[in-house]
Amino acid sequence: MLRSSLKLAEKIFEKDVEQIPTRQGYGEGLVIAGEKDPNVVVLCADLTESTRSNLFKEKFPSRFVEMGVAEQGMATVAAGMANYGKIPFISSYAAFSPGRNWEQIRTTIALNDVPVKIAGAHAGLTVGPDGATHQMLEDIALMRAMPNMIVVYPCDSVEAKKATVASAANGKPTYIRLAREKTVVITTEATPFKIGKADVFWISKDPQVSIIAAGSLLFEALIAAQELEKTGINVEVVNCHTIKPLDERTIISSVKKTGAVVTVEEHQIIGGLGGAVAELLAKNLPTPQEFIGMPDHFGESGEPDELLRKYHMKSEDIVVAVKKVIVRKNS
């Protein structure tokens, strides 16, 4: 855990660091959750291998339902199953769930407050060549505005596995955001994880800026922290894997120390993690803030890394944002 040791920080900067898609952690978490509770069931919309729901299907074939290309029906069926004691996970691409079936999620799941878990795979810009239609960049905004809905955005496969297991037991509608591309494994099995509890992953002496990040871009934030420290700019990096409910105490505690914030996410700047943090601080602690994310655009086809560079979501862009917010803080 970086809060108490920099050994893991040193590891993630190695050239041969392990990379695994967060959807793999989701699939592994489904199996663990299924072993713990026989009421866990999984439904999928004809994307069983892509979402890694196949791991659960192979282990518990009688508790798996292939719905076909029918995300709206999948949400409604899952709501009915949850109403009778099951714990359903529904799996699809985020562009289709919650993108296509948002109304069914709202009316049959969230309104009734039944514990259906929505796994939105292939979210974000790094779907790459699939292009704008599949690069879901609005899902956090859609889901965090939904009453009763918990929103979790894991940073790596290990955290995705923990998030899946934890959500199976939380008794609430929950959205889990997952990526297609391999993600650097930042955490370990020993790293603490609790839904609703953010964790400080990088601490410097007398930090000048709080970098609050979620998902795969947390790794870029850590690279930026390392580079900034070399130039004498100290920061604190917070892994805010739960977008809703936001860990207000940890965020406010960090910002009180630093007096400036940069939020980092692979999502539209409007309505995502940055918006959630801005709302919190506007109410409790007005603070200069810069936003790393998609600047009110749809994506396009391209390789994941070149898209992140084009839309200014890399570590060097975070460095620029940190320096900019320091100037604002001191002006």
Question: Among all residues, which ones are annotated catalytic?
Answer: 71
C-alpha to C-alpha distance for 224 and 228, rounded to whole angstroms? 6
Instruction: Tell me how far apart the alpha carbons of residues 46 and 293 are, in angstroms, rounded to a whole number.
Output: 30
Tell me the C-alpha distance between 276 and 280, whole Å: 6
Distance of CA 4 to the CA centre of its chain: 23
Residue 195 contacts residue 64 (beta carbons within 8 Å): no
CA distances from 151 to 142, 228, 244, 287, 317 (A): 10, 30, 5, 24, 26
CA distance 221 to 322: 10
R_g of the chain computed on alpha carbons: 19
Q: What is the DSSP string of 3-14?
A: TT-SHHHHHHTS
Local structure of 162: helix, strand or coil: helix
